[in-house]
Structure formats: C-alpha cells, structure tokens
Amino acid sequence: MNTGSKRLGIPVWAIIGRWKVEEGNAGETATAYHITREELEAALAFYERHHAAINHRLEQNCAD
C-alpha cells in the first residue's frame, strides 16, 4: 500500500487522505505534498482500484 510518490516515498493513503481533506482539490493536494499533477493522478488511479483497502487504512489512521 506504499504506492504513491515513489520519488518522495509518500504513501498513497496519505496523498488520498489529504485529497479528501482538500475536498478533491488537486492543486492544493499536489502543492501540500510537493508532488506533480501526474503523481497525484497516479495515486488517484491506484485509489480507484484499491479504495476499500485505502479507506480502511485512513480509518485506522484516524483512530490512532
């Protein structure tokens, strides 16, 4: 579940969590993590395929 920004080592669940906080604002999310739009789009594509696991991870993170 660590696929996200391989260049920076940011897990996809973290990127998606921020994207949700930003209410889907791609520009704000990319800026917050210093990633490109292409990296954000890759994370979103991964999320589409694995949304249940990523949502579960986000829920766990909020519970901690």
Helix (H, G, I), strand (E, B) or coil at 8: coil
Query: pLDDT tens per residue, the chain (64 residues)?
Result: 455 556 668 999 999 999 999 999 999 999 999 999 999 999 999 999 999 999 999 999 887 6
Question: Model pTM greater than 0.85?
Answer: no
How would you class 2 by CB atoms within 10 Å of its CB: exposed for 0-12, middle for 13-18, buried for 19 or more?
Answer: exposed
What is the model's pLDDT at position 46?
95
Handedness of CA 5, 8, 10, 16 (dihedral sign): negative
**CA angle, corner 7, sides to 5 and 10, nearest 5?**
35
What is the model's pLDDT at position 6?
60
